[in-house]
Structure 1
Amino acid sequence: MPEPHNETRIHANAIPRGLFVFLVLYGGLTVIAGVLAFKQVQLWPTDLAVESGIFAFLGLVVISSTIAQLYGEKLARRLVWWGFLPLAISAALIYLVLSLPPSPDMVAYRGPDLEAFNTVLAQTPRIMAAGPAAYIVSLLLNVWIFSRLRGSGEVNTLGLMARGAIASALSQAIDSVIFVTLAFYGEFDITNLLIGQVLAKVALSIVLVPFLITGGVALARKLDGTT
């Protein structure tokens, strides 16, 4: 009869190392995307803008596509749905922390820091409410398009890059419309932000995402020892 610790080791080793690493990264990116989205970054030299959560969200696109490529569309879809868990937990923790009274020392000596903390995180509930709607639609769409373009057989590196670019560009354009409208409509004129967001995500999907996906696939295969 094997020792209990040996059985535990067998179960742990049953998870591919590449998959494990990307699952950890995915959970972290889902949480930080909503916080980063508070800041809009200017797309110099124009007056167009993009919310900073785009940088984390493109990471989610890359990871979900990588997992669909190596471990299957079904697992990638499950990952997208389970991504709601870290989102929900982080939202609950933010609400808890905002509800707790600050320490007297912080009020006395770090008032500006406390005010900035409350300003940013007090705004995140609306952003985090908009985030899941855009998140679920765009990432499920990304996985679906990416998998459908694969067809019935394997593709070469250029085919992988093209699939990643097309799936990401289409899904991120839709994500931008949903997120920006739900998160910021009524607070200010969202025209420049919306246009900037769509242009930035489509451009990055074409220029950057294909290389990140091929790099992600190569990294996962190396971690799994299948290269």
Structure 2
Amino acid sequence: MIEQPANQTRIAAATVPLGLFVFLVLYGGLTVIAGVLAFKQVQLWPTRLAVESGIFAFLGLVVISSTIAQLYGEKLAQRLVWWGFLPLAFSAALIFLVLWLPASSEMLEYRGSDLNAFETVLAQTPRIMAAGPAAYIVSLLLNVWIFSRLRGSGDGNTLGLMARGAIASALSQAIDSVIFVTLAFYGEFDIAPLLIGQVIAKVALSIVLVPFLITGGVALAKWLDRRHL
């Protein structure tokens, strides 16, 4: 195998579009923070619908993967979804390590409540730890696939972009809820009310927020790419 000269490697790195680079960095961060935010449920005003807060980070993943599919191709978006497991797995390993390590004597004596809160938020059951990645990979790959199929042969206009983003996000988020709630909680209690509420809330957020977020994401990426020229 012939190694690529260092100067050619630097040139290749420098030619990566700035918009793509920025969105890749954001994507990795969002995969990590989504699981932490999910610990809190929020009410969607003015309704009584409740949704776990991780949906806001997850909608960011949907917007970024769709934006990359729109501007840089479906295959690159699919690769991003698969490689998104890397920061997810790495952060999970670090969390397990930190939870396993003993707390300092100072924290045990003076900050016991902080330690309990830390462990409560980060220590999840094995079922929930398995359900999250399973829902992630299926729903985001489905989002990229639906978004790209609805695109057809052309780029379409802004309204078409907004519609494709909303439809792909709503369908993928519904599947995400079914997979996650079923794998995490089936057999422990009646999951029907939780499942129905989560699907309605996530679909509603997808329809209300995603069309504007994705048009903004595409516009931002194009602007960054122009500045990089």
Q: Return the TM-score normalized by structure 1.
A: 0.91
Cα deviation per residue 1:48-69 (whole Å; 9 max; x = unaligned)?
A: 4211111110000000000000
Give the match for residue 206 of structure 1. 207
Give the match for residue 85 of structure 2. 84
Q: Distance in 2 between matches of 1:81 and 1:73?
A: 13
User: Structure 1 residues 54, 119: closer, same or farther in 2, change over 3 A?
Assistant: same
Task: State yes or no: 1:180 paired with 2:181.
Answer: yes
Give the match for residue 140 of structure 2. 139
RMSD between aligned residues: 2.0
Letter in 1 for 2:91: S
Identical-pair percentage: 87
Equivalent positions of 1:17-36 (< 5 A) are 17-36=18-37
Task: Work out whether residues 63 and 213 of structure 2, in 8 Å CA contact, stay in contact via their aligned partners in 1.
Answer: yes
Task: Work out whether residues 49 and 193 of structure 1, in 8 Å CA contact, stay in contact via their aligned partners in 2.
Answer: no
SS at match of 2:154: coil
Equivalent positions of 1:67-106 (< 5 A) are 67-106=68-107
User: Structure 1 residues 77, 170: closer, same or farther in 2, change over 3 A?
Assistant: same
Runs ≥4 in structure 1, deviation > 3 angstroms?
Answer: 4-9, 42-48, 184-192
Cα deviation per residue 1:72-122 (whole Å; 9 max; x = unaligned)?
A: 000000000001111110110010001000000000000011011111111
User: Structure 1 residues 193, 46: closer, same or farther in 2, change over 3 A?
Assistant: farther
Mean Cα deviation higher: 152-161 or 61-70: 152-161
SS at match of 2:153: coil
Task: State yes or no: 1:122 paired with 2:141.
Answer: no
Q: Distance in 1 between matches of 2:8 and 2:154?
A: 36
SS at match of 2:39: coil
Task: Work out whether residues 35 and 124 of structure 1, in 8 Å CA contact, stay in contact via their aligned partners in 2.
Answer: no
SS at match of 1:96: helix
Q: Distance in 2 between matches of 1:159 and 1:85?
A: 33
Question: Cα distance, 1:5 vs. partner?
Answer: 7.8
Letter in 2 for 1:65: S
Ranges in structure 1 where 5+ consecutive residues have no aligned partner: none
Task: Work out whether residues 47 and 192 of structure 1, in 8 Å CA contact, stay in contact via their aligned partners in 2.
Answer: no
Question: Cα distance, 1:124 vs. partner?
Answer: 6.0
Give the match for residue 192 of structure 2. 191
Give the match for residue 63 of structure 1. 64
Task: State yes or no: 1:159 paired with 2:160.
Answer: yes
